[in-house]
Amino acid sequence: MAELKYYIIRRLATFIPTILGILLLVFIISHAIPANPARLWAGGEKAKPEVVEAIKKKYHLDKPYHIQFMLYLNDLIHGDWGQSPMTKRPVLEDLADYFPATFELALVSGILIMLIGIPLGLVSAFKRNTWIDHVVRILALVGVSMPVFWLAIILQWIFYYELDVFPATGRGISPSHVYTGLYLLDSILSLDWKAFIVNLQHIILPALTLAFAGIGVIARITRNSVLEVLSSDYIDFAEAKGLVGLQFYRHVVKNASIPVITVLGLQFGMLMAGAVITETIFAWPGIGSYTVNAISSLDYPAIMGSTLLIGLVFITVNLLVDIFYAIVDPRIRF
């Protein structure tokens, strides 16, 4: 356990420089745009000069870039993520409203990736060079190659326009009691089954769109990892000892799980960060839609805040994955 504790401490030590690097990169890119955000926030070309100057002073836009960045970091240390000049609300309040929708969408998509991608990869590996293997590999290739926006439009056309099975846009309805902000979970906790059915219908298409590429990636990683384990000497030894049936498959899957766990963690972080297109097409009220609106209006506090939140989620997920496969394979702790 001591090795695991020191391993976690070492991983936690990478949090601060990683977050600082993310913030610095986003700050440089967002401020490199040749535009006048203060005038845009004041109402455009018709804005009064004194109003523009007041906004510049309020948001420190009249100071050099390095001073702006240091002031932002100082505010972060004191728990102030800034105020959005477009919504006129603290960025933390905006993120608290939008984050549950994105987290729920990413969570359902991650579940679909695990439930579909891993079994497909296992079947493809154990049925190597059969027609089943070829079909799974083609599906995985299509999943990785198909553009997200194209898949979203196709699904909307088939399941909404042609079949009228699932709604094309929106998140659904709020359950009778909101506990976590996750509509599906809150519907179950409040025993509001009507809201659960409606919300489930609304999330299926965007979740499937977001998960489709990840299913292909996980299927391919699982197949390759299992095949690599099957070709190992210790598997030949296990077979020679008479290890067959369910015990044999469990032995193979456990040893092949490390790459799969790693990629699953990366996929969840990418689901959080890559939901912009999906949320825009399906009018899903999450962080992606909020970030798009922030970018179009040069809302620096909102851009920095949403990036920081996604970065924190991404790093936290990676930390949990690292801890998990350090438990699965004790050699990693060293």
Task: For residue 47, give the 3-state DSSP assignment.
Answer: coil
- Measured CA to CA, the distance from residue 279 to residue 46 in angstroms comes to 33
The strand pairing partners of 90, in sequence order, are: 83
> Is a pLDDT exceeding 80 seen at residue 220?
yes
> Is a pLDDT exceeding 60 seen at residue 334?
no
Q: What is the pLDDT of residue 155?
A: 92
Name which CATH class applies to 91-333. mainly alpha
The domain spans of the chain are 2-77, 91-333
Torsional sign, CA 240, 242, 246, 250:
negative
Taking residues 16-40, what's their average pLDDT?
77
Taking residues 32-36, what's their average pLDDT?
70
- Confidence category of residue 261, pLDDT binned at 50, 70, 90: confident
> Is a pLDDT exceeding 80 seen at residue 245?
no
> Is a pLDDT exceeding 90 seen at residue 265?
no
Instruction: Say which amino acid occupies 200.
Output: L
173: tokens are 């309805």
pLDDT digits (tens, 9 = 90+) for 57-85: 877 777 888 888 888 888 888 888 888 88
Percent of the chain with pLDDT over 70: 88
Most confident of 80-84, 282-286, 322-326: 282-286
> Is a pLDDT exceeding 80 seen at residue 302?
yes
> Is a pLDDT exceeding 70 seen at residue 328?
no
Q: What is the mean pLDDT of the chain?
A: 82
Q: Give the largest Cα separation in the chain, rounded.
A: 84
- Confidence category of residue 208, pLDDT binned at 50, 70, 90: very high
